[in-house]
Amino acid sequence: MQAIVIEPYTDQYKEDVAALIIGIQQIEFGIPITLAMQPDLASIPEYYQVNAGNFWIARSGATVVGTVALLDIGNNRGALRKMFVHPQYRGKTAGTAQSLLMQLIDWSREQHIREVFLGTTAKFTAAQRFYEKNGFVEIEQTSLPSGFPIMSVDVKFYKLVLHN
């Protein structure tokens, strides 16, 4: 396995990012969501890479094996979005998800983000454990800030308070 490289998204990876995310959503987890239902993936720079937001990919060689995004939702708050890792690159040994999350947290601190929120589906139980191990605390949907984009499949919500 080649070393994992974490870098900001560029449009040269547009198709690879969409294929990774859709594949995990539809094939692995059976979530009935399409690319058309995720217009953010059609314009990642305009949607995520503005203000304090960003979007990162994890690469092994030329292959995109992971993604994570920070959406700036205002008031020094961010929404963690599009955290997906190819099954062969998951787990503590590979460290891909941890590297992606640390990139997002480091960036958030540099951008003076104080709180990071996320929503996830009931099916992503391993992801829920991962977030909890990394300091995210489950919150009620009613505790989300008004700018948080709730997806129809999201049923569990988390918050991480960053101490800059």
The pLDDT, as a whole number, for residue 164 is: 61
CATH number of the domain at 146, please.
Answer: 3.40.630.30
**Percent of residues in the chain assigned helix, strand, coil, to nearest 5:** 35, 30, 35
The pLDDT, as a whole number, for residue 1 is: 61
Number of Cβ atoms within 10 Å of the Cβ of 77: 20
Domains of the chain: total: 1
Helices (H), 48-138: 91-94, 96-110, 125-133
Q: What is the pTM of this model?
A: 0.95
Tens-place pLDDT, residues 106-151: 999 999 999 999 999 888 898 999 999 999 999 999 999 999 999 8
Q: Is 153 helix (H, G, I), strand (E, B) or coil?
A: coil
Domain that holds residue 13: 4-161
Tens-place pLDDT, residues 21-70: 999 999 998 888 899 999 999 999 999 999 999 999 999 999 999 999 99
Would you state the torsion angle of the CA atoms of residues 58, 24, 16, 4, taken in this order, to the nearest 10 degrees? 20
Sign for the pseudo-dihedral over CA of 139, 52, 9, 16: positive
